[in-house]
Structure 1
């Protein structure tokens, strides 16, 4: 192995973002090819659509396993394992002969890739310390280019050649990232006198921290709001308001830009204000916008009102998520990987509930979507009010 080359924070963050981008690329690039894959594998498209749920399940289970391992073993080696395993699965996927093989490889692809992504927040924490939220915002801002361009890349590759080329492109991307990681990703600094903990003990430590539990709950529930948006917005724009596919893509891209703007704003202010204050700024804006969105849908106002309320709401949601994550991760010196696994697993698990909840309350309007967004924000508000109350009580006892 070559001697690790020193890399500055300016280049480390894009590298970490590129590692994180592996999953959104794997999720979004093959979406346009689903009907073609179903035809080639002689199956229903519903089976190929299920591969998305299979991928999310594999990713969540991988986080549970690799999170504690990231606290005990070499993070750099875990990234190499995760990206390398993703590469192997991507190379094999174009050669599948049945839908069962396709689903199995997608599960394996997701499961092993989580070994790489679970390391990223802990690595940012190591280099940014109390400014972890700033680093997370930078990485999230850069990474958001992946879901923006992935469907377009997938469509181009599909039209140019075949659906198999999409997975070969993913393989090429992961191989490129593996080489960059091998030469440029520094190893984590070893914690002196670090106590050895078992797999279960690491999770107990994370869940036993009362304030962390409330911030984890905040991160989890605000993710429900985010996945509600991802699940419902195509229906709201395309079916309720009857916009064209082109208009929908423009509106969707604008909201992604709102997320990026919120992350950029957070990087500018969080070092001065702190993560807790920035979380409250985002939560205050979210309460206002979620209430407005609910009112807009109750009275079935025109499209412009929905667009104007969703834009700042999505930005505020991203600000809540990144700062609640930072508050959790910075609480744990030796269990940051485990904490990341807890956040990620709960986030993806509750995100999977958005579809069934919206389907249960379906009434042909955008009201269930607005109601779920509003309810999620209120639960986060309740969690943070409890945190504030307990902090005041602790301050009084200290005096």
Structure 2
């Protein structure tokens, strides 16, 4: 296997890496836009395709699984053929299958094309963390935090954009808009994406490309610890995303507009948490930040659990959830930073492992909430509290102490 040799252009690009962050955020926004824009259209899609609404509701979990699969498939390939080539392949495939989703005539077609759309979405977004790692070096946590903060605008606006499109035309236009968006991003990437390509990692077999690549990541004890923490934090965060509309609207009887306001406030807090983490983690280190943030998360998750157990008013739930989600987002950024530090030459594979575990664990949040459903906020609070406790066990366990 050849040792990758950085391009001379890396040094020039790294002089002002912040200028690339809006483009990186726009690429990363492909997935939240694809997930959230069509949510208001689910009933109309079901009616148009003459299919059961329950089938379409499962499309979110299917999308997350397929997205994780895409990262798993394309991660080692990105290390082999180069980030920019993988980005072009991913955005091209995403565009094609967005158009095919729009042309679906049955529920089965819709789910198949959505799955393929997700797979290529994974191929396009997995190159961003590695590119940030190469550009920012020791300040990787800052780059990841800034991109995440900018990208947060997408899930905040996506349902509104989808709703506006539905007011003007039919649901298929949502996927035409997604296709147009990916084409614009593709053209911008061809012109402006930093040319940081390293000499391709030569591989002689499938075993060397996949098995050896993933074994390199998973056999690292220090990395395994951070991967587990990242997975648990992601599962806990997806539990919030999956269940919060039910909690606010069904359990507490809040209006859809109030739900939108509270969700928007939480997004703003997530942005604030990312920006704050970017400044502090550079000084104290990502690993130290994980420890400090966990204690804060434990306090607010305990408050959340007590609020649900005592059946307190919704405002107490909000006071526990909003800072807790900020802690989880910062934890995810910090664990990703520590993982990418270990594998500067194999960031595609490392990102694939992170993404596969993240979105794979996120996809089971919905089924678990449904299984424990009792009409109250208690299962929701218990799952979130359990996630925080497990993060603490993994992080502070003597058997997993980083030496």
Residue deviations 1:291-349 (CA, integer Å, cap 9, x gap): 11111111112222111111111111111111011111111122211111111111111
Q: In structure 2, how many angstroms separate the alpha carbons of the residues matched to 1:264 and 1:68?
A: 31
Contact 1:294/1:367 (<8 A) preserved: yes
Partner of 2:244: 233
Q: In structure 1, how many angstroms separate the alpha carbons of the residues matched to 2:234 and 2:336?
A: 11
Partner of 1:361: 372
Q: In structure 2, how many angstroms separate the alpha carbons of the residues matched to 1:249 and 1:153?
A: 13
Q: Aligned to 2:344, what secondary structure does the other structure show?
A: coil
Q: TM-score, normalised by structure 1?
A: 0.93
Alpha-carbon deviation of 1:46?
1.9
Contact 1:194/1:334 (<8 A) preserved: no
Do the aligned partners of residues 158 and 210 (structure 1) sit closer, same or farther apart at CA in structure 2, a change above 3 Å counting? same
Q: In structure 1, how many angstroms separate the alpha carbons of the residues matched to 2:319 and 2:70?
A: 38
Q: Does residue 259 of structure 1 match 2:270?
A: yes
Q: TM-score, normalised by structure 2?
A: 0.92
- Structure 1: state its 5+ residue gaps: 395-399
How many equivalent residue pairs?
389
Q: Does residue 278 of structure 1 match 2:286?
A: no
Alpha-carbon deviation of 1:189?
4.2
Q: In structure 1, how many angstroms separate the alpha carbons of the residues matched to 2:332 and 2:82?
A: 27
Partner of 1:397: none
Cα RMSD after superposing both structures: 2.0
Partner of 1:312: 323
Q: In structure 2, how many angstroms separate the alpha carbons of the residues matched to 1:149 and 1:84?
A: 24
Contact 1:217/1:383 (<8 A) preserved: yes
Q: In structure 2, how many angstroms separate the alpha carbons of the residues matched to 1:273 and 1:311?
A: 24
Q: In structure 1, how many angstroms separate the alpha carbons of the residues matched to 2:107 and 2:385?
A: 39
Q: Aligned to 1:169, what secondary structure does the other structure show?
A: helix
Contact 2:248/2:254 (<8 A) preserved: yes
Residue 232 of structure 2 is aligned with which of 200, 221, 244? 221
Contact 2:25/2:150 (<8 A) preserved: yes
Q: Aligned to 2:342, what secondary structure does the other structure show?
A: coil
Q: Does residue 198 of structure 1 match 2:209?
A: yes
Q: In structure 1, how many angstroms separate the alpha carbons of the residues matched to 2:179 and 2:398?
A: 44
Contact 1:275/1:324 (<8 A) preserved: yes
Residue deviations 1:6-29 (CA, integer Å, cap 9, x gap): 864233111111111111111111
Contact 1:75/1:187 (<8 A) preserved: no
Q: Aligned to 2:21, what secondary structure does the other structure show?
A: helix
Alpha-carbon deviation of 1:386?
2.7
Residue 143 of structure 1 is aligned with which of 123, 130, 151? 151
Residue 110 of structure 1 is aligned with which of 106, 113, 118? 118
Q: In structure 2, how many angstroms separate the alpha carbons of the residues matched to 1:178 and 1:186?
A: 13
Summarize the alignment of residues 127-166 of structure 1 with structure 2, pairs less than 5 Å apart: 127-166=135-174
Partner of 2:59: 51
- Structure 2: state its 5+ residue gaps: 1-8
Q: In structure 2, how many angstroms separate the alpha carbons of the residues matched to 1:173 and 1:253?
A: 23
Alpha-carbon deviation of 1:290?
0.7
Q: In structure 2, how many angstroms separate the alpha carbons of the residues matched to 1:239 and 1:38?
A: 22
Alpha-carbon deviation of 1:193?
9.0
Partner of 1:80: 88
Contact 1:214/1:387 (<8 A) preserved: no
Summarize the alignment of residues 19-30 of structure 1 with structure 2, pairs less than 5 Å apart: 19-30=27-38
Partner of 1:340: 351
Q: In structure 1, how many angstroms separate the alpha carbons of the residues matched to 2:212 and 2:62?
A: 28
